[in-house]
Amino acid sequence: MYGLGSANDRYLSCAVKAALEKHLIPFWIGKDADRIEDMWQSTHVRSYWRNGPITNVVQAAIDSALWDIKGKRAGLPAYELLGGKVRDAVPLYAHASGADFNSCTENVRRWLDAGFRHVRLQMGGYGGGGFIPPGEGSRP
């Protein structure tokens, strides 16, 4: 029996891997997978530096994996064990961008035409000056 939990961290993936392999997996081996709250608490108080980004990622992963195991044993999806389904669908958004107003408008229209009701828009690139209204010239 195994459970799945995501320990994904795009920017600190090596740190997450090291935390799992060198510190937490050895600590978790042999523990009772049915004691989800105890596993969470003992993991949380195990380190002086609680609530850091790495610790939170790996704690969320083990918590999800343990609920996945419990759901498999019960023959139910984990969400049923946690109170049941609360919605039939989740609204999604697409990300549109462009260098200027016209390209942004075109890219938003493409996502709307594809069926998205919500589109996040960013103009001018990340961390850059963004949109400069016509006639204002360049900004420093």
Residues 91 and 72 in one domain: no
Question: What letter represents residue 101's amino acid?
Answer: F
Residues 70 and 20 in one domain: yes
User: Residue 128: its pLDDT value, please?
Assistant: 52
Structure tokens of 110? 């493409």
Tell whether 4 is covered by a domain: no
Domain count for the chain: 2
The model's pTM: 0.64
Tell whether 129 is covered by a domain: yes
Q: Mean of the pLDDT values across residues 27-37?
A: 92
Residues 57 and 97 in one domain: no
Confidence of residue 138 (pLDDT cuts 50, 70, 90): very low
User: Residue 60: its pLDDT value, please?
Assistant: 92
DSSP of 12-28, one letter per residue?
SHHHHHHIIIIIIHHHH
Q: Is pLDDT at 91 greater than 70 in this prediction?
A: yes
Q: Is pLDDT at 99 greater than 70 in this prediction?
A: yes
Tell whether 125 is covered by a domain: yes
Q: Is pLDDT at 34 greater than 80 in this prediction?
A: yes
Tell whether 3 is covered by a domain: no
Look at residues 61, 81, 101 and tell me which one is the last residue of a structural domain.
81
Range of the domain at 93: 87-135
Tell whether 140 is covered by a domain: no
User: Residue 127: its pLDDT value, please?
Assistant: 56
**% of the chain surpassing 70 pLDDT:** 89
Residues 67 and 95 in one domain: no
Look at residues 48, 63, 81 and tell me which one is the last residue of a structural domain.
81
